[in-house]
Structure 1
Amino acid sequence: MMRRIGIEYPQRGQMRLSDIGEPPPLLPTQILIRTCYTGVTNGTERHALLGEHGFTVYPSRHGYQHVGQVEAVGTSVREFQPGDWVFYGQYVGHRGWNVVDVCCTDVQSYSSHLCLRLPEGIDYRLCALFGVAGVAMRAVRRFRVQPAQRAWVAGVGVIGQFAAQAARALGAHVTVTDLQPRRLEVAEACGAHRVINVHEQGMEPLREGAPYDCIIDCSGVPSLLQQIHEMQLLAYKGVIGLVAVRSQTEFPWAMLHGTEASIEVSCHFSLDDLRVLLYFVQQGIIRIEPVVSHVVPIEQAAAVYETLRDHPAELLGVIFDWTQS
């Protein structure tokens, strides 16, 4: 059944299900996708819900993780056909249907249509987290993680979980840190080589594994860059990858000068990142199911957003099921 609803933030701290109407007639290069599952982008959606980091316009819609079936295709479309299962990754918010122009097929650009056909035999529901996993995959590839490197992922929320898995998939020795025991348990179950609860163990175990060739910040802790410098955690010509959303960033210049290192950022994901992600998922190297904490009908979304607003640490991977009536 095609749902005519979408998730909207009418004002700061609130969400509602709104009517999005019927799909328009398709242009020749467009396809119509009926949504079956969507995934919550915890960090981005919480920032938007609370009006943080420049998210100040309401009403607004946020999110970029849809899984569904192609219902119809335009007259010029050859790549997709009705009945195909697809992941769709553009930033359009949670919606019961999507009309997508599939003429832009640049596999390296996040400006492409970002529709990935999903093979038979895969758990389509779990693919609703391909967006956050795709963000992590693009970041790890952009930060040039390589075999035998030492990688440290700071903060293993949803994107941090997949950044750790992606770094391990590319051959790195992976250390993860967090304050939440449950998140660390999930990261360890998914293959992280070292897990450190900095609340209980402090920073010394982290120093013992240094220097790190790649430090991937998925926490957004303002003091992190200063700590990296003071503890000399960054390797010569290493990379600090800033993944967590932030407004401004300050860093000690000497941290990069002596090491000839770099600070880099990454944005969204491409079709090629999704292709690589799908390969690792099919091989069982990247695992999604352990990262999922909640699967709920879309009608219960309000309770999820209350938790996201007030108790975000209780959520990890969240999937909305649109197939239940």
Structure 2
Amino acid sequence: MRWGSLRALAVVFRERGVVALEELEVPEPGKGQVLVAVKYSLISPGTEVAFLHGLPNTPRRYPQRPGYSAVGEVVMVGEGVERVEVGDLVCAKCPHASLALASEQAVMRVPEGVDPLDAVFFELGAIALQAVRKARVEVGEPVLVLGAGLVGQLAAQLARVAGGVPVLVADLVPFRLKRALEFGADHAIDLSQVALREGLTRALGRADVPVVIEATGSPEAVASALEIAARRGRVVLLGSTRGTTVVNFYSTVHRKGLTVVGAHVSTLPSLDSLPGWWTERDEWGAFFRLLRYGRLKVGHLITDVVEPERAPEAYEWLARERDRHLGVIFKWE
């Protein structure tokens, strides 16, 4: 089938702090490519808000197209595509738009029975999964997750799946901590009310913890993660840090024998999974299995499903109203 010239609506960061919905031309899929009519796309709050406002460790180049987590129906396939076919419901690692052109490698069929609104969390699920996998959580071991944003919420659930006991979550926003306690966390530490060490002591009877997953992206939180990690503990840096962290490596890392692991998803192998280092596609598959068998829940993380025309509002919510908004999804149908 040949459709000729195709037009799509897309979210665009026109310049620093400016969000717009624009019409773009989309080419037909070439060799190894897939065209997806998007149903839903999920905002990745930490990354996209940081890129929008040009925070440290972001490109600061505009215009740019945000987003990397969508679900939709395959409407065209290019030459040589074998994994999916027209009519399939797929997840697609692509920007926010009504039509998405992606490589076959960047899409995966959504298993039967999985709600598309749950499936759209596939990429954030994979990001959290690879971080927890790198933490090497042992059954019965306490785990602390710093930050109760989307990836922190997912990491807390996955730490519990991995056998972490108890799982603690620390954040400044009570609304987010309540969600964490409802699904996965055993203890919540409200950092707007209590210092981190005091909160740990109340929950564990000790002021340190063997596994810390840092999911805030705050430079100060990275320093805190290193300080409260126990001797011979592990600290996994899941959040992308937006600034420079000042650390006394002798006292917080060297003398305690800490293992510190960077867990950016771009470090994953591209072809074959290894113990502790799965490919991104294998992590997607694991995410869907966890959903299907009820080990992972994401529906409670959705606070807003909005039309793309409300994109400027949506990013403002996530930047300014963290006590009300968490999982924001664009509905493109």
Alignment deviations for residues 107-145 of structure 1 (CA, whole Å, 9 cap, x no partner): xxxxxx232211121111222222222211111112222
Q: Does 1:71 align with 2:75?
A: yes
Distance in 2 (CA, whole Å) between partners of 1:122 and 1:272 is 17
Partner of 2:179: 186
Conservation of the 8 A alpha-carbon contact between 2:128 and 2:151: yes
Q: How does 1:235-254 map to 2 (within 5 A)?
A: 235-246=230-241, 247-253=243-249, 254=251
Q: Does 1:39 align with 2:49?
A: no
Structure-2 change in CA distance of 1:93 and 1:261 (3 Å): same
Conservation of the 8 A alpha-carbon contact between 1:238 and 1:262: yes
Distance in 1 (CA, whole Å) between partners of 2:222 and 2:77 is 49
Q: Which moved more, 1:263-272 or 1:188-197?
A: 263-272
Q: Give the ranges of 4+ consecutive aligned residues of structure 1 lying more than 4 Å apart after TM superposition.
A: none
Displacement after TM superposition at 1:273 (Å): 1.0
Q: How does 1:132-281 map to 2 (within 5 A)?
A: 132-173=124-165, 174-203=167-196, 204-208=198-202, 209=204, 210=206, 211-228=208-225, 233-246=228-241, 247-253=243-249, 254-268=251-265, 270-281=280-291
Partner of 1:130: 122
SS class of match (1:72): strand
Displacement after TM superposition at 1:314 (Å): 3.0
> RMSD in angstroms over aligned alpha carbons?
1.9
Distance in 1 (CA, whole Å) between partners of 2:48 and 2:221 is 23
Partner of 1:95: 97
**Structure 2: which amino acid aligns with 1:46?**
V
Displacement after TM superposition at 1:191 (Å): 1.9
**Structure 1: which amino acid aligns with 2:217?**
G
Structure-2 change in CA distance of 1:227 and 1:24 (3 Å): closer
Distance in 1 (CA, whole Å) between partners of 2:88 and 2:144 is 38
Partner of 1:109: none
Displacement after TM superposition at 1:193 (Å): 1.2
Distance in 1 (CA, whole Å) between partners of 2:223 and 2:110 is 43
Distance in 2 (CA, whole Å) between partners of 1:227 and 1:25 is 49
Partner of 2:23: 19
Displacement after TM superposition at 1:166 (Å): 1.1
Q: TM-score, normalised by structure 2?
A: 0.86
Alignment deviations for residues 68-114 of structure 1 (CA, whole Å, 9 cap, x no partner): 1111222322211111111112xx42122122222xxxxxxxxxx23
Partner of 1:298: 308
Distance in 2 (CA, whole Å) between partners of 1:271 and 1:18 is 30
Partner of 2:61: 57
Conservation of the 8 A alpha-carbon contact between 1:129 and 1:317: no
Alignment deviations for residues 274-305 of structure 1 (CA, whole Å, 9 cap, x no partner): 11111111111110011111111222222212
Distance in 2 (CA, whole Å) between partners of 1:187 and 1:316 is 12
Structure-2 change in CA distance of 1:142 and 1:180 (3 Å): same
**Structure 2: which amino acid aligns with 1:97?**
L
Structure-2 change in CA distance of 1:3 and 1:40 (3 Å): farther
**Structure 2: which amino acid aligns with 1:8?**
V
Partner of 1:286: 296
Structure-2 change in CA distance of 1:10 and 1:28 (3 Å): closer
**Structure 2: which amino acid aligns with 1:198?**
L
Distance in 2 (CA, whole Å) between partners of 1:4 and 1:129 is 22
Displacement after TM superposition at 1:225 (Å): 4.5
Displacement after TM superposition at 1:235 (Å): 2.5
**Structure 1: which amino acid aligns with 2:28?**
P
Structure 1: which 5+ runs fail to align?
A: 103-112
Distance in 1 (CA, whole Å) between partners of 2:297 and 2:131 is 18
Alignment deviations for residues 188-236 of structure 1 (CA, whole Å, 9 cap, x no partner): 1112111111222333121352432210111233333444565xx3223
Distance in 2 (CA, whole Å) between partners of 1:62 and 1:313 is 23
Conservation of the 8 A alpha-carbon contact between 1:188 and 1:194: yes
**Structure 2: which amino acid aligns with 1:250?**
V
Task: Give me the identity figure in percent.
Answer: 29
